[in-house]
Structure 1
Amino acid sequence: MSASSAVELGPVIERLRASGCVFAEDEAALIAETARDADELAAMVDQRVSGSPLEYVVGWASFCGLRIAVDPGVFIPRRRTEFLVAEALKVTAVDAVVVDLCCGAGALGAAVASERQVSLYAADIEPAAVRCARRNLAAFGGNVYQGDLFAALPVRLRGRIDVLLSNVPYVPTDEIRLLPPEARLYEPHVTLDGGPDGLATLRRVAAEAPDWLTPGGHLFVETSDRQAPLAAAAMREHGLATAVTTDDELGATVVRGTCP
């Protein structure tokens, strides 16, 4: 039973607002809904006031209408990345082989699989992310592997992937210090740091993707708008045809590479 029916939220809202939470009322309601009793509610509010991301406090993130379980130390899916899912769904057929590479909590794979019946695979280098993704993808029959990019995947998938979702880290190393404290202080830097220009991991994915994609298969990545031309060039260098799409409302940019 949640604590919301037993606790007056006014003081909770005031504490959250005083700590700098812009949406204090909404956050208080979510925390109260999640907490099992007043003691847990107080502990969760303390965590949030101390700066812990709301998603870590309540244990989940909202993404494409799903509640994605998110443990501390796992990258929190961003709302703007819903645009990548929308773009991928345009070309995802029933029974497609879909891989969520650098999967984090598995949000992208879960969102696609919630809309299409697919064969779903995911991989991440971080053990905490793999544990989390296994929980989130179990309902969709997803297989989750730990390892470095394509090295984590079963060899049988080589040349058979129809849709490759790869939300690689793309923040330039020197710009991590400019991120909001919730990301900079709580999320692992390996999930944020894209190297000097933010595209180091993307280039590695682009180099190997043609060997893993089926003919006509697609690679989808998210970048900043200023990085998109360089990301597209990296894909073309390895034989992929590219397209760049943007969503101004979400502030999202997606680069698609298609295997001939």
Structure 2
Amino acid sequence: MPAADSLASPTLAELVPMLRAAGCVFAEDEAQLLLAEASSPAELFEWVERRVSGEPLEYIVGWAEFCGLRVTVDPGVFVPRRRTELLVSEAASLLRESLTPPGSSASAVVVDLCCGSGAVGLGLASRVSVRELHSADIDSAAVQCARRNLSPLGGYVHQGDLYAALPSRLKRQAQLIVANAPYVPTSVLPTMPPEARIYEQQISLDGGPDGLDLHRRVIEEASEWLDPAGHLVIETSERQAAGTVAIMVAAGLGARTVHSDELDGTVVVGTARA
């Protein structure tokens, strides 16, 4: 690529073929975004070089679109996927239907485990008003990123291993626990797209031999933290949904699977049994 200081900013027609040749499926959309966000031709050239080399677009511009919102995403932090919008919509529906009747004040305590950038909590807060939002992640970079996204909303972000990160006062208080815990089987990691495999932390992807190690831990301890009328919503895959359901049933929870073809997303909803 020519020196940035020797050329004017490239046009959309010039950028699209470059991005397409690098394997960008949505080359035109990405080119438009880079043109809109770059503050100078020099920055634009730098960003295009980074994108062509395979760096995720979200790390380059510093944010991802999720649930119609701009979510800050720092390098190395798990990039929110569109399929996870199903997790948000199902969780929001549960809060609307059973926790916050029309005309009443919000009273729900929500816990978001393996929160990454905090995108799920941010999406929920944009749809349903909750009394307390507690997000947690074991990765310090994710925690710092989530705090930037959630602190303006009054959300709490804790660092630690799943429930160990949470204040003990929340036991039996959560009306909703959501989790986009890693569920990629370890053996499948080498086949993932380079954007994820190279640039995202393995700890945010690796779900163990069958991809369900974190699901087991989240589900097994959920009853200690859920309100008796609470719900647990976990993102999974179509292939692994039956396994996630079986773990929930064995833990004494009712379970149902929700899938969206439009979002290519799958979640399992757990409820306490009477």
TM-score for both structures, normalised by structure 2: 0.90
2:82 counterpart residue number? 79
Q: Confirm whether residue 209 of structure 1 aligns to residue 212 of structure 2.
A: no
2:30 to 10, 24, 27: 27
Q: Which range moved further: 192-201 or 246-255?
A: 246-255
User: Which residue does 2:119 correspond to in 1?
Assistant: 107
The answer (yes or no) to whether the contact 2:58–2:73 under 8 Å persists in 1 is yes
CA shift, 1:8, in A, is: 2.7
Contact 2:121 2:150 in 1 (8 A): yes
1:242 equivalenced with 2:245 (yes/no): no
Give, as a single letter, the amino acid of the residue that structure 2 aligns with 1:104.
G
**Mean CA deviation greater in 243-252 or 54-63:** 243-252
Deviations 1:102-149 (A, max 9, x none): 000001100001111111110000001001100111232100010000
Once superposed, which parts of structure 1, at least 4 consecutive aligned residues long, lie more than 6 Å away?
none
CA distance in 2, matches of 1:76, 1:198: 19
**Contact 2:241–2:257 (CA under 8 A) maintained in structure 1:** yes
Query: 1:167 and 2:170 equivalent?
Result: no
Residues 9, 44 of structure 2: 8 Å contact kept: no
Q: Equivalent residue for 2:168? A: 155
Partner residue in 2 for 1:96 = 108
Aligned partner of 2:40 among 37, 54, 57: 37
Measured in 2, the distance between the counterparts of 1:112 and 1:124 equals 17
State how far apart, in whole Å, the 2-side matches of 1:223 and 1:214 are: 23
Match in the other structure for 2:264: 251
Deviations 1:75-113 (A, max 9, x none): 011101101111111111323111111000001100001
Within a 5 Å distance, the mapping from 1:174-253 to structure 2 comes to: 174-253=187-266
Deviation at 1:7, TM superposition (A): 5.0
CA displacement at 1:185 relative to structure 2: 1.1
> Aligned partners of 1:160, 1:175: CA distance in 2, in Å?
37
Q: Is the 8 A contact 1:102 1:168 kept in 2?
A: yes
**What is the match of residue 4 of structure 2?**
none
Q: Is the 8 A contact 1:120 1:140 kept in 2?
A: no
Question: How far apart, CA to CA, are the structure 1 residues paired with 2:239 and 2:70?
Answer: 31
Q: Does structure 1 residue 128 correspond to structure 2 residue 128?
A: no
Distance 1:6 1:186, change over 3 A: closer
SS of 1:103's partner is coil
Q: Structure 1 regions of 5+ residues with no counterpart? A: none
TM-score normalised to the size of structure 1? 0.95
Question: 3-state SS of the aligned residue for 1:214?
Answer: strand
Aligned length: 256
Give, in whole Å, the separation in 2 of the partners of 1:224 and 1:146: 26
Paired-residue identity, %? 55
Contact 2:185–2:207 (CA under 8 A) maintained in structure 1: yes
**SS in structure 2 of the partner of residue 120 of structure 1:** strand
Moved more, 166-175 or 87-96: 87-96
Q: What is the distance in 1 between the residues matched to 2:247 and 2:232? A: 12
CA distance in 2, matches of 1:22, 1:242: 36
Deviations 1:217-239 (A, max 9, x none): 01100111121111111112221
Structural RMSD (CA) = 1.3
2:64 corresponds to 1:57 = no
User: What CA distance in whole angstroms lies between the structure 2 residues aligned with 1:158 and 1:146?
Assistant: 17
